[in-house]
Structure 1
Amino acid sequence: MGHSLKLPQAQLTFRKPLPEATLLMTAGGRPPENKWILKIAKGFPVWCIDSGIQICRQTGITPARIIGDGDSASPEAWAWGKSLGVPVEVYPEDKDYTDLQLALLRAKEMYGTATAIVSGVWGGRFDHAFSNIQSLAGWEALGVKGIAADESEVLLFLSDQDTVRIKAEVMPDIISLISLSNCCLGVTIDGVRWPLQKAELQRNLPYAISNQPLAGCQEVSVSVDEGLLGVYLQWRQEK
């Protein structure tokens, strides 16, 4: 098991080892830039989650698996996916779990532990985005390490005695820390305008947002002693 994960815009190195299996999942929110998804898709199997099939269709990426109920994908994209001869798991619209949750469950069944990089999380309906983020956060304790990512926004999760080093040629413009458990203890962040040392962050008072890397800095380190911490990164895109 390695400790590093390379995204097109940054390298993430964790103190804890990452699962051996890594999957790229495309969901139905704001689609990533074609250049970004084509670059990251070279390294990992791609699972399309319902209307996430449209991302693969428009970029010519052949997915390894398609999962969903087909209710939000266009008929043309869904038919294209079925024509590829890859595994297609179709679920009824009336079901207990969301399509992303079904994909995470399937990943756990197949691999035991895995890293799931999910693109197409941001944008769209708030309830969808919130459910997706909470699902990725909740699966952290079950052995599936979730990362929501595209070219402009990344959200990763740290839990209990973990650290991440974020390195990039172009560092994110914004770094925010959000407690996803009732509180996070021993939160430290270095290489930023407003550093923290062994701080306590409360879920109901999320003040550690909109931090900025120091000028000229190409590495930021974040760690947490106890709790589940969300680390949010944003790169502002040129208009």
Structure 2
Amino acid sequence: MKRWVIVAGGDLEPADLKELRREDRVIAVDGGVLPLLKAELPFDRAVGDFDTLSGEGVLALKKRGIRVEELPAEKDVTDTQYAVEQALAEGAGEILILGALGGSRFDHSLANVFLLEKVESAGVRGEIRNSHNRLRLYTGNGREMIVERGPFQYVSLLPLSERVEDLHLKGFRYPLAGATLLRSDPMGISNKVIAPRATIRASSGRLLVVESSD
């Protein structure tokens, strides 16, 4: 199944766009149009209220034959949420969100992180990524999540639910066996993978898995 990449209008470095593959379906969200145009990278459509793009910019997109969906400024969803819901409706097998973090609006960054729950609830793999971080969701139901040792130095496990029960970590610098993590106690910060493949397993609760580098 196709991977869909959503390029949002948050902080985006040129290196982040190297994540794009030729076969990806790409939706540019509002200001996310600009780095794609600058890098001369193709995308399938542009969506948003385009408050960061002039009317002339929108017209230029249409003249290039790019599908543009202009959304009202006042609506019940964010532009990025709209793009995620489009990708899910069109059968995405995986969703990667770039440009989801940073900028002056922390609320938008946090809202984008929570969109990973919408993606997972639809049975689709989702992640947020930039040059320094990779964010994924783990739902505790007894299954394992594999974290491979790679370019990221740290792995932090942050409960999104009030509690994460019966947590087992193997292959990490700080292993756990049957532990409980609380959302109010960030003890899962800054672990490290020391085996080629580490595993996370819990019986209940939901974790935000953040791989990061300095």
1:174–1:75 Cα change, 3 Å: farther
Provide the TM-score with structure 2 as the length reference.
Answer: 0.88
Residue 31 (str. 1) matches residue 9 (str. 2): no
1:182–1:24 Cα change, 3 Å: same
CA distance in 2, matches of 1:109, 1:173: 35
Offset, 1:116: 1.2
SS of the residue 2:158 aligns to: strand
SS of the residue 2:113 aligns to: helix
Equivalent residue for 1:223, pick from 188, 201, 204: 201
CA contact (8 A) 2:16 2:98 kept: no
**Paired residue for 2:146?**
165
SS of the residue 1:41 aligns to: coil
1:138–1:183 Cα change, 3 Å: farther
Offset, 1:213: 2.5
1:83–1:25 Cα change, 3 Å: same
Number of residues of Structure 1 aligned to a counterpart in Structure 2: 212
**Paired residue for 1:116?**
95
CA distance in 2, matches of 1:74, 1:204: 43
CA distance in 1, matches of 2:145, 2:54: 38
Residue 48 (str. 1) matches residue 28 (str. 2): yes
Question: Which segment is superposed worse, 131-140 or 149-158?
Answer: 131-140
SS of the residue 2:193 aligns to: coil
1:53–1:41 Cα change, 3 Å: farther
Cα RMSD of the aligned pairs, angstroms, is 2.1
Provide the TM-score with structure 1 as the length reference.
Answer: 0.80
SS of the residue 2:90 aligns to: helix
CA distance in 1, matches of 2:143, 2:54: 41
**Paired residue for 1:85?**
65
CA distance in 1, matches of 2:43, 2:97: 14
CA distance in 1, matches of 2:142, 2:53: 40
| Aligned pairs (5 A) from 1:68-83 | 68-73=48-53, 77-83=57-63
Offset, 1:136: 2.1
Structure 2 counterpart of 1:163, one-letter code: E
Structure 1 counterpart of 2:102, one-letter code: G
